[in-house]
Amino acid sequence: MKKVISIALALCLCLVCFVGCGEKTYDGWEFVTTGEVLYQVDKTWKARSASTSKSNDETMDYYVDQFLSFGVQYIPLKNLSKMNKTDHSKAEKCWFDVYIKDDPTFEKLSEYEVDGKKAYHCKRNSPIRPGTAEYYGIDTPKGYVIFYANYSDIVDTNIIKENFTKLLDSVKIVKEKPQPKPKVEKRGEYKGWKTEQVAEFTFKVPQEWENNPNAILDARSYEIGDKEDNLSVSIGLQEPEYENKEQFLEAQQKKYGDKIEILADAEIAGETACHFNWHTFYREEVTIDVYLLDSPSGVVRIQSRYPADLSENPLKDEFEKMLKSFEIEK
């Protein structure tokens, strides 16, 4: 299975967690993504999304304990000013000027290399607990990323440095894989739908569904309706460390416990798909309807997200029709 995974597919995405790796995994750590960056975090850290419906920024916090936490904030290009869209150094200056540099405790520190880029580095008094907040910032092809740590003065600085360095050294900026222009059906059941591809699977989606501009590598991610609707459909490869869909599902169950609801297997493209619901938080409490398939390139995850307070997925008809359209290249 693994030998067909090209270098270009060594990194991949999940809307909520389509990720991948071709790098060494630290013992007890795992790969995750935020925006355009892939990085590792300790599996014991408690992850929480700090993204809000008022902003398209993606923010993840990772709590070690009550005295120490790490975080990653991704600011997409469309959230930057017109000037910043053409000069990312101004984005850096703007973000730190607005949010950090006016703090009287601000202190600029030496730069640090993150995936070949010199990261802006500074610290100030922590805004969330007595102690220190430390920041690193790098530009990405479609935005800007800030890595940060908030820690109390009682925390061993060696522990902070060791963990922060591991996180930063694991960072990879992932680049979008070019997609061929989709074919649009002109007749039949799927008239007005276009054909897309992820790994060895082709499938059809409504022509008006636009791939998220931040979707990267072998994945398709469609945010549907207004942002407040919180509806999406996404398809993408999972980490190549998983040999099959059963192994991936087992890992999800261990990580999320009773937030995973196992459902009956389904048939997609003539293959048996594992099926489960994942109850989690993304801007609000949501339900994610997930199917897992094996392919020569690895485990493919197909999912639809919708607010948990709805009795049924508003995208149910389109999602099921899309699933029926799946075909696999033999």
Phi (first) and psi of residue 6, to 5 degrees: -80, 170
Q: Which two tokens stand for residue 163?
A: 């963990």
- 125-158 pLDDT tens trace: 888 778 999 999 988 887 889 999 999 999 999 9
Query: Can you give the pLDDT of all 330 residues of the chain as single tens digits?
Result: 333 333 233 333 333 334 443 456 789 999 888 888 999 999 999 998 877 655 667 889 999 999 999 999 988 766 555 444 444 455 566 667 666 777 888 898 999 999 998 898 999 888 877 899 999 998 888 788 999 999 999 999 999 999 999 999 999 988 765 556 778 888 889 999 999 988 889 999 999 998 876 555 578 899 999 989 999 999 988 876 788 999 999 999 998 999 999 999 999 999 999 999 999 998 899 999 999 999 988 899 999 999 999 999 999 999 999 999 999 976
Whether the Cβ atoms of residue 218 and residue 238 lie closer than 8 Å to each other: no
Helix H, strand E, coil C: the string for 28-52 is CEEEEEECCEEEEEECCCEEEECCC
3-state secondary structure the chain: CHHHCCHHHCCCCCCCCCCCCCCCCCCCEEEEEECCEEEEEECCCEEEECCCCCCCCEEEEEEEECCEEEEEEEEEHHHCCHHHHHCHHHHHHHHHHHHHHCCCCCEECCCEEECCEEEEEEEEECCCCCCEEEEEEEEECCEEEEEEEEECCCCCHHHHHHHHHHHHHCCEECCCCCCCCCEECCCCCCCCEEEEEECCEEEEEECCCCECCCCCCCEEEEEECCHHHCEEEEEEECCCCCCCHHHHHHHHHHHHHHHEEEEEEEEECCEEEEEEEEEEECCCEEEEEEEEEEECCEEEEEEEEEECCCCCCCCHHHHHHHHHCCEECC
Which residues pair with residue 69 across a beta bridge? Answer: 63, 150
In this predicted structure, what is the pLDDT of residue 44?
94
Cβ(299)–Cβ(293) under 8 Å?
yes
Q: Could you read off the pLDDT of 240-263 as tens digits, one per residue?
A: 678 899 999 999 999 899 999 999
